[in-house]
Structure 1
């Protein structure tokens, strides 16, 4: 005879901004009334909860979560510890146990309940495929280690301890847990049952993140160098002004400012403007009494006065020139 036992529904805990993976422990703050009731039901039973991530994130504590708001792939977890922080908030520690696929969501109670299908990892059995998996895991750990050089705080995470001695599935899941990537990417890794594909996908994500971080680091270094040079030039120019004031050469400073403005107003061609500014920089560092200062100043004044943008009609006739 077919079984007449009623289906065993498990309370659902909708999650915001987090995806829980198997064999990982996470701390979760529970504040919605429906979630608190689901937690109480689980505590009075077998401490099991279906940890299901919401598709749309909300900052509202009392928002109502519907079945369509939840991803289909999730994790079943067991409550390890809980602390009542106040009347509205409970802090729980929960451990993910296994990947699942929701097959039914029941909303007849004040909280959501669900039926699920447990999902098992697909692990290669052939020797060559096993070798591919080991290589993929090794590459994943090396790439994660490289990524962590940019994120020192993550290096202290207990999730990353002794990765080399863990199964490939656990390695991938623990690394994914700490990565600051979009929820949809984490869900795609959660629903991937092939451990080999999971490791490869995660390595590709890490490579992209490392390249982005390296680019940011290079840009920041270049910006720092530019700022340092600007500060240095400003400091030296101010120092030169003070020295000239002390020597009684304040008029020279005004003359240099005027000459610099004349160079700017002359609308010189690019090559001439570059040369003029180079000579002006040398002049600003010279003593006004030095012979070289007079030569450089005369050169710049001549450069400014040249008719760079004026032209005349010139008749070029070689035959006529030969007759002279």
Structure 2
């Protein structure tokens, strides 16, 4: 039978099937990965026992069932929710039993239907269905779509080995647009979801357009695949041809004695000889060059090997810079770039002095620790300038991969050395100043722990033979001066801390900020904004107002931003012609910078019972805190608020326990806690607070509350407490003392063992404050608590 006769028979059968009336209820057969369309015959293998029973019952009846595609083919026994709602009513044409458990049936699609609801689930599904009527409209658009589909499908068949070529003639003679769309989709190897989408598309025009989109996509994929195959074949042929021509050229050059003495490989050999590499590195380079000589240039491994050899040869194995050992000049450079920071400058001068006496001294490994904005990173650059060394900086913030430090092994595609070796190559010197910024923000995950990889780098006893995973040869890092920076020490592993010399850079006082602004920040910002010194003069009063009321920080970063804001405002006025120069006084601060951002805590301090002033350390410097305590009728509970950490909560518990145990000595009612609830609150509740240093403050607030004696408002305190009544030392003394002075405090109470820490406090701050040192908690009572008759405010 010819294809034309077959098509005519199919279309006639389809027209006859469309007139068949469907029953309102159909037995439902779920199918895995198969979609059946009306008018098409398809063989099916049935293996489920309930499906076999369905076929047997249908053959005994009208031989008509409904087939539905299940959403997940892995589900062995799908439920109603795991089947699509639209399917095809089919007539069973033939059934053959192929084994004891499987049967083979041939079904003919008749009409689309939609499941209304399931009325039976055992022994197989029976559903109430709604027959979907399909119109066969005729229009110029539909004719055009049919023509395009036939043309594109013909091209797809030509390019696809999976689609039989006989289908082309069958498609060409189809007249029914709906059947054409269904037949084309059923012939393509596309996902079941897309086939189901076509089955659910009732409108003929929409269905043809969607089929056209899928055909065009399949055609593009097939054309691209053929293009890639052609290019690969051409590339292989070209490489073989080039290989034979190169071999012939070599033979001709040997016969003529005209070999190129400056070839690429010979140039690499000369570079190896001139590199003055250590013996281990020279052997590795020579071995890699021999491998390169035996490799064809077009081989994929050639580029990998050549890149590795270039890395070996580009490293400064024997190139270094001479240190500037002039101590006076180095001191001048450091003073030019940074104000104060005497401890760091002293350490650098000591290093230069020892280098004069011992020429082969190993480079020091320092760690600058301090709050943001105090000049840690810029200080490293200044030290490099003072020493006359190359400066290399890498940021370790957020680094999680150990390979960032040690490099990737060459077995990986795109492998490179780690950041240490990359920095050495960039410096073009084997003794640069290497700055490891933000070392406290290293992370660790499944890719390794970068901080552990730094243990070898930052150990003078090991880093003379540092081995990068990519190079696989040792490189001497002992001449490198490493400087790490961090905001806090707590997140740096103890083993890594042990390898570094910790130098703390505390926050600046107001006087220091004033000098830094005058000597460094203002000239820098005037230059960056194109202003002359006579066009903008910032007076000391204005600078002090900016420092105290518009910035709250340990460093000077925000201060520099505020000065830049002033410079921009003045530059705008000068360009507009409204002024020629500005003398920036305290009265103009509000005009240029807006409302005050920070207010002094002095206004919050009151001589009330149960309110004590404490001192706290923060990453941006010191600050004062208030501890408020109150008691109310209740059931012996202690409430702590203010977003306190576990250590701070334990300090409050310890303070309450001590007060209860010493009620008689403190003058507190014995049964104050029997029928009362105590609430301790630390304001600024959105700011997390933790640490033991508020223990003394909490004890004082509780004692004041329970003895009804107010606390002096000109005193601030800090210290850790124990249940034995001992006051233990705490950290951050300099920052806390400066915060007390900034807040207008007159007297600071410190643990006795912290007395030695006052050496770090500036002399002007020590002159303005009175210090009291305590060893026992009871010693604080006469210092801070007023008698009831002395409740007038202490100035």
CA contact (8 A) 2:89 2:113 kept: yes
Alignment of 1:230 onto 2:236? no
Partner of 1:97: 110
Match of 1:95, SS state, is: strand
Alignment of 1:145 onto 2:158? no
Alignment of 1:80 onto 2:80? no
- Deviation track 1:168-225 (CA, whole Å, cap 9, x = no partner) reads 1111111111111111211111111111111111011111111121112112211221
CA contact (8 A) 2:24 2:129 kept: no
**Structure 1 segments unaligned to the other structure (5+ residues):** 1-6, 268-324
Partner of 1:295: none
- Cα distance in 1 for partners of 2:261, 2:191 equals 54
Displacement, 1:18? 1.0
Displacement, 1:99? 0.7
Partner of 1:37: 53
Alignment of 1:68 onto 2:81? yes
- Cα distance in 2 for partners of 1:170, 1:190 equals 11
Partner of 1:26: 42
Displacement, 1:237? 4.6
CA contact (8 A) 2:136 2:177 kept: no
Partner of 2:266: 262
Match of 1:149, SS state, is: helix
Q: How does 1:106-117 map to 2 (within 5 A)?
A: 106-117=119-130
- The structure-2 alpha-carbon separation of the partners of 1:220 and 1:156, relative to structure 1 and needing over 3 Å to count, comes to closer
Structure 1, 114-123 or 84-93: larger mean CA deviation: 114-123
Q: How does 1:177-188 map to 2 (within 5 A)?
A: 177-188=186-197
- Cα distance in 2 for partners of 1:215, 1:135 equals 26
Match of 2:164, SS state, is: helix
CA contact (8 A) 1:160 1:175 kept: no
Alignment of 1:204 onto 2:213? yes
Partner of 2:451: none
- Deviation track 1:34-69 (CA, whole Å, cap 9, x = no partner) reads 2111111111111112110010112x7xx2121111
Partner of 1:52: 68
Partner of 1:194: 203
- Cα distance in 2 for partners of 1:205, 1:265 equals 58
Match of 1:155, SS state, is: coil
- Cα distance in 1 for partners of 2:97, 2:266 equals 75
Displacement, 1:231? 2.7
- Cα distance in 2 for partners of 1:266, 1:49 equals 84
Match of 1:148, SS state, is: helix
- Cα distance in 2 for partners of 1:39, 1:161 equals 31
- The structure-2 alpha-carbon separation of the partners of 1:160 and 1:41, relative to structure 1 and needing over 3 Å to count, comes to farther
Alignment of 1:134 onto 2:138? no
- Cα distance in 2 for partners of 1:221, 1:130 equals 42
- The structure-2 alpha-carbon separation of the partners of 1:9 and 1:139, relative to structure 1 and needing over 3 Å to count, comes to same
- Cα distance in 1 for partners of 2:110, 2:237 equals 53
- Cα distance in 2 for partners of 1:8, 1:136 equals 35
- The structure-2 alpha-carbon separation of the partners of 1:263 and 1:64, relative to structure 1 and needing over 3 Å to count, comes to same
Cα RMSD (Å) of the superposition? Answer: 3.0
- Cα distance in 2 for partners of 1:41, 1:260 equals 82
- The structure-2 alpha-carbon separation of the partners of 1:162 and 1:90, relative to structure 1 and needing over 3 Å to count, comes to same
- Look at both structures and tell me which one has the larger radius of gyration over its CA atoms: 2
CA contact (8 A) 2:31 2:69 kept: yes
- The structure-2 alpha-carbon separation of the partners of 1:117 and 1:160, relative to structure 1 and needing over 3 Å to count, comes to farther
- The structure-2 alpha-carbon separation of the partners of 1:224 and 1:263, relative to structure 1 and needing over 3 Å to count, comes to farther
Match of 2:39, SS state, is: coil
Match of 1:161, SS state, is: helix
- Cα distance in 2 for partners of 1:158, 1:46 equals 32
Structure 1, 201-210 or 108-117: larger mean CA deviation: 108-117
Match of 2:163, SS state, is: helix
- Cα distance in 2 for partners of 1:185, 1:47 equals 29
- TM-score norm. by structure 2 comes to 0.29
Displacement, 1:88? 1.2
- Cα distance in 1 for partners of 2:176, 2:39 equals 11
- The structure-2 alpha-carbon separation of the partners of 1:206 and 1:20, relative to structure 1 and needing over 3 Å to count, comes to same
- The structure-2 alpha-carbon separation of the partners of 1:208 and 1:263, relative to structure 1 and needing over 3 Å to count, comes to farther
- Cα distance in 1 for partners of 2:159, 2:72 equals 30
- Cα distance in 2 for partners of 1:137, 1:95 equals 24
Structure 1, 202-211 or 131-140: larger mean CA deviation: 131-140
Structure 1, 229-238 or 129-138: larger mean CA deviation: 229-238
Partner of 2:179: 170
- Cα distance in 1 for partners of 2:241, 2:231 equals 15
- The structure-2 alpha-carbon separation of the partners of 1:162 and 1:220, relative to structure 1 and needing over 3 Å to count, comes to closer
Query: Which of the pair has the greater relative contact order for Cα pairs under 8 Å at 6+ separation?
Result: 1
Match of 1:64, SS state, is: coil
- The structure-2 alpha-carbon separation of the partners of 1:158 and 1:230, relative to structure 1 and needing over 3 Å to count, comes to closer
- The structure-2 alpha-carbon separation of the partners of 1:226 and 1:104, relative to structure 1 and needing over 3 Å to count, comes to same
Displacement, 1:165? 3.8
